Chains A and B, each alone.
Chain A
Amino acid sequence: MYDWLLFFHLLAAFLLAVTAVTYSAVAFGSLVGGRTLFVADRCWDVGGLGTLVLGVWLALYLDQYEIWDGWIIGAIVLWLVATGLGDSVRRGIGASEPAGATVYDRRVVLMHWLRTLAVIGLLVLMVWKPGA
């Protein structure tokens, strides 16, 4: 049970990486097709929900962790920050004119990098588990 929860939790995290890498290409000025961005956004939706639900499930399943542990609360806060930033990036890119633009508002690009940092921060918390 633990193994499969961990597998799907990691798989969900890897889907977040698809989004982060795709939007990094956008941030670097690559012309990324609408279909690719659509898939990247769906990866964020599925990966975001999967990491949160399976992560909480894992915390409840394992005896030595509690849902109110500092590193788990920190991860949930980072997850919320990353999701909020992701929504802003999605809206910012969707609002860009003309369609297919490769240069975006600097705030949109900044929000993308902050979201990517939040994802890396989540990984740091998952590996080091400070306070656990």
Chain B
Amino acid sequence: MTVLAAIRPDDWNFPLFIHVLSAMVLFGAVVLAALAVAGNTQGGLRLGFRSLLIGAIPAWIAMRLSAQWIASKENLLDEDVEVPAWVDIGFITSEGSFLFLVAATVCAGIAARRGHGGGLRTATVVLVGITIVAYLVALWAMSTRPT
């Protein structure tokens, strides 16, 4: 079982590499955004906004496209295939979290433009916090593969 768990065809490696790399950048960018915005300084708000806009959103797109690529290589998108629960969890958490990510970016952008945080800063921290939890759930699902 432990042997089987680590074996996969070689041609899955590149999309898997892109998927994991972009997921790592995404996670790093949202954590940086949370820390920067929570600091409640004008520079922190700007950094949080840029981290989400330039780091997290492009990384999310790369992560999601590469996920689709791998799923297609594994024939998980075929009509007659029952999609495993861990793949469903990955899709649900990534797609659901994207809405939070976009909302957090808009909140952080407006707060940075105004130059003060207030409720928008709190909203950004909460939204980014939810995405971090979602990514941890996705990471757990991808690695433990619950049925």
Instruction: Mark each residue of chain B from 110 to 147: 1 if its CB lies under 8 Å from any CB of chain A, else 0.
Output: 00000000000000000000000000100110111100
Give residues 2-48 of B contacting A (CB, 8 Å). Answer: 2-3, 5-6, 13, 16-17, 20-21, 23-25, 27-29, 31-32, 35-36, 39, 41, 43-44, 46-47
Whether B36 pairs with A32 at a CB distance below 8 angstroms is: yes
Name the A residues within 8 Å of B16 (CB-CB).
Answer: 127
Supposing A4-B144, A6-B143, A33-B41 touch, asked if A25 and B3 sit within 8 A by C-beta, the answer is: no
Chain B positions within 8 Å of A96 at CB level: none
Q: Does B51 contact A (CB under 8 A)?
A: yes
B21 A21 Cβ-Cβ under 8 A: no
* Contact partners of B21 in chain A: CB under 8 A: 120, 123
Q: Once the chains bind, are A62 and B36 in contact (CB under 8 Å)?
A: no
Contact A21 B39 (CB under 8 A): no
User: Please, which residues of chain B bring their CB within 8 A of the CB of A18?
Assistant: 27-28, 31-32
Within 8 A of A (CB), among B82-104: none
Find out whether the CB atom of B47 lies under 8 angstroms from the CB atom of A123.
no
A31 close to B47 (CB less than 8 A): yes
CA distance A25 to B48 in the complex (A): 10
Which partner residue on chain B sits nearest A126 by CB separation?
B20
What 1/0 mask marks residues of chain A from 1 to 36 whose CB sits below 8 Å from any chain B CB? 011101100110110111111100100001111011
- Which of B6, B41, B43, B139 interacts with A7 by CB under 8 Å? B139
Is there contact, CB below 8 Å, between B32 and A25? Answer: yes
B35 neighbours in A (Cβ, 8 Å): 22, 33, 35-36, 39
Residues of chain A contacted by B5 (CB below 8 angstroms): 2-3, 62
Closest to B19 in A: A127
Which among B2, B29, B55 is the interface contact of A62 at CB below 8 angstroms? B2
**B69 nearest CB across to chain A (Å):** 14
CB distance from B93 to the nearest CB of A (A): 14
- Encoded as 1 (CB less than 8 Å from any A CB) or 0, chain B from 44 to 65 comes to 1011001100010000000000
B residues neighboring A (CB under 8 Å): 1-3, 5-6, 13, 16-17, 20-21, 23-25, 27-29, 31-32, 35-36, 39, 41, 43-44, 46-47, 50-51, 55, 136, 139-140, 142-145
A19-B28, A36-B32 are known; give 7 further A-B pairs, CB within 8 A: A3-B143, A3-B144, A6-B144, A10-B143, A14-B139, A36-B36, A62-B2
**13 sample A-B contacts, Cβ–Cβ < 8 Å, listed by A number:** A2-B1, A4-B144, A7-B143, A17-B27, A25-B32, A31-B47, A33-B36, A33-B44, A35-B35, A36-B39, A36-B44, A40-B32, A62-B5
